[in-house]
Amino acid sequence: MKKHTTFEETRTALQQGNTTCAAVTEHYLETIAKEQQINAFLDVFREDARAQARVVDRKIEEGTAGVLAGMVMAVKDVLCMKNRRVTCGSKILESFVALYDATVVEALRREDAVLIGKTNMDEFAMGSSTENSAFGPVLNPVDQSRVPGGSSGGSGAAVAAGMSHAALGTDTGGSIRQPASFCGIVGLKPTYGRVSRYGLVALSSSFDQIGPFANCVRDAARVLGVIAGHDPLDSTSADLPVPDYLAALTGDIRGMRIGVPSEAFGEGLQQEVRESLERAMEILRTAGAEIRTITLPHSRYNISTYYILMTAEASSNLARYDGARYGYRAPDITDLTSMYVESRSRGFGAEAKRRIMLGTYVLSAGYYDAYYRKAQKVRRLIQKDFLNAFTQVECILTPTSPTTAFTFGEKADDPLQMYLSDIYTVSANLAGVPAISVPFGSDNRGLPIGIQLIGKQFDEDALLRAAEVLEKAENPIHSH
């Protein structure tokens, strides 16, 4: 089996009787064992995955299998799976076991995906490099001296290294798209509210969204079709019908208006990334799309607005880890205050502490109006920029990240430089719109470059259609 097998290829082989789900699962388990040094997984469900694969094979024989039958999937360790640890990459939850399945996990099981394990991540999804896990960093399979991106680096690396067909990640400010870009795969962040967040351990409740990593746009569309939809258990999930995303992949983007923000060519943009963006514009134009220059005037405030609001929400959400109810409790404590202080001091890593302190500061009485309230107003202006842009265009095209994957430690001592690696991705989370990263070329060191498309709310169809046009131009083997 080739390293970058798409699920489409596996599905055909299963239908023709050329392989079995059990054989496919075994192949992925062997790859995980072989590529252990990448540290993509925190838990591998060997026996469960084998048992699940046997059940799926029976269902395929009987003709009762779900739409993901034979798809081997990994799940970021921030999503609850019943009777499995959910560590969030943190020492504070190292031994915490979930009591129920997240809604997205239930959906995958229902459609017969084989769940192979939980993936490593930045602690509580805080980071752009997966260097902040309490269980060690994840290596980028393309070049192991470099980061895989974050915070869903384990999920990105698992798919890129051929350890699973697809994986679920979460995206708060780019945590699916940026690892997809660094690892050379597809990563999709759906519209806020398109996918239930029930069973997701929250970092920042008004930003977090669950989405798929895959080796091709078609696989990502297939997974999205399964996990999308209204969930009464999540009050923020939208009660809207789920379209047939696979049917949307017609390859026809004639007449589609695609906007390129003048701000996309800002300073700090790696030359090869700029060239890939220009080439993507040319390919879309050749396919019949109309490329327009647009402006997102408030985009220079994206990073500061995002980091004020996200840290404020993180500070509130992480207040529950206090040593009293669940998770890590420091030993040798004498009173309530020392229990709180010691449990949190020893349980959280440096980046989690930094963001909790920033968030607590911007929410404090003296600074609430100056920072938090002002950031909420700017967020509204950023959302308006997108609403205005989408009266002129259907999609917006930008780089996913200003650079290709950086080396370990390169930005660890300079949080601001690290935060700036999210400059192109955070806007979609601030505006609650869908976005996708597609691999598009590489730099002179052979490191993948990702191109991002941003769409209107709940218009993942157009996004996927344009993304597949780019993918096929770049990688004809994904043409079906």
CATH number of the domain that 462 lies in? 3.90.1300.10
The residues that are catalytic are: 76, 151, 175
- Which band of pLDDT confidence, cut at 50, 70 and 90, is reported for residue 480? very low
Question: What gap in Å lies between CA 303 and CA 464, rounded to an integer?
Answer: 26
Please, what is the Cα angle at 170 between 329 and 448, to 5 degrees?
A: 120
Average pLDDT, rounded, for the chain: 95
What DSSP string runs through 404-427?
SPPBTTTTTT-HHHHHHTTTTTHH
Residue 75 has pLDDT above 60, yes or no: yes
Q: Using alpha carbons, list the distances in angstroms from residue 72 to 4, 46, 60.
A: 13, 12, 15
For the segment 268-283, the average pLDDT, to the nearest whole number, is 96
Closest by Cα among 408, 458, 365 to 130: 408
- Which band of pLDDT confidence, cut at 50, 70 and 90, is reported for residue 326? confident
For the segment 389-395, the average pLDDT, to the nearest whole number, is 98
**Two structure tokens written together for 150:** 């974050």
pLDDT (tens digit, 9 = 90+) per residue, 130-161? 999 999 999 999 999 999 999 999 999 999 99
What DSSP string runs through 135-199?
T-PPPBTTBTTB---SSSHHHHHHHHTTS-SEEEEEESSSTTHHHHHHHTSEEEEPPTTTB--TT
Helix or strand run (H / E) with residue 213: strand 209-214
**Predicted pLDDT at 479:** 45
Residue 156 · residue 134 · CB < 8 Å: no
Burial status of residue 99 (CB atoms within 10 A of its CB: 0-12, 13-18, 19 or more): exposed
Least confident range of 5-9, 142-146, 250-254, 257-261: 5-9
**Predicted pLDDT at 23:** 97
Q: Is the pTM of this model over 0.85?
A: yes
Question: What gap in Å lies between CA 462 and CA 60, rounded to an integer?
Answer: 32
Closest by Cα among 56, 73, 60, 53 to 16: 60
Question: What gap in Å lies between CA 197 and CA 215, rounded to an integer?
Answer: 24
Residue 134 · residue 165 · CB < 8 Å: no
- Which band of pLDDT confidence, cut at 50, 70 and 90, is reported for residue 414? confident
In sign, the C-alpha dihedral spanning 461, 464, 466, 469 is negative
Residue 284 · residue 462 · CB < 8 Å: no
Please, what is the Cα angle at 303 between 301 and 309, to 5 degrees?
A: 95
Q: How many CA atoms lie within 13 A of 306 on its CB side?
A: 31
Question: What gap in Å lies between CA 121 and CA 203, rounded to an integer?
Answer: 13
pLDDT (tens digit, 9 = 90+) per residue, 444-457? 999 999 999 999 99
- Which band of pLDDT confidence, cut at 50, 70 and 90, is reported for residue 268? confident
Using a pLDDT cut of 90, give the percent of the chain over it: 93
Residue 219 · residue 6 · CB < 8 Å: yes
Closest by Cα among 233, 239, 228, 222 to 186: 222
pLDDT (tens digit, 9 = 90+) per residue, 216-229? 999 999 999 999 99
- Which band of pLDDT confidence, cut at 50, 70 and 90, is reported for residue 476? low
Residue 446's domain comprises 1-480
Residue 205 has pLDDT above 90, yes or no: yes
Q: Using alpha carbons, list the distances in angstroms from residue 137 to 77, 131, 143.
A: 14, 4, 14
Least confident range of 41-45, 334-338, 427-431, 473-477: 473-477
Residue 1 has pLDDT above 50, yes or no: no
Residue 28 · residue 164 · CB < 8 Å: yes
Question: What gap in Å lies between CA 48 and CA 84, rounded to an integer?
Answer: 11
Q: Which residues contact 238 (CB under 8 A, 6 or more apart)?
A: 191, 193, 194, 230, 458
- Which band of pLDDT confidence, cut at 50, 70 and 90, is reported for residue 477? low
Question: What gap in Å lies between CA 294 and CA 212, rounded to an integer?
Answer: 29
**Predicted pLDDT at 96:** 95
**Predicted pLDDT at 94:** 95
Residue 2 has pLDDT above 50, yes or no: no
Residue 106 · residue 80 · CB < 8 Å: no
Provide the domain count of the chain: 1
Question: What gap in Å lies between CA 307 and CA 9, rounded to an integer?
Answer: 41
**Predicted pLDDT at 3:** 46
Residue 249 has pLDDT above 70, yes or no: yes
Residue 388 has pLDDT above 90, yes or no: yes
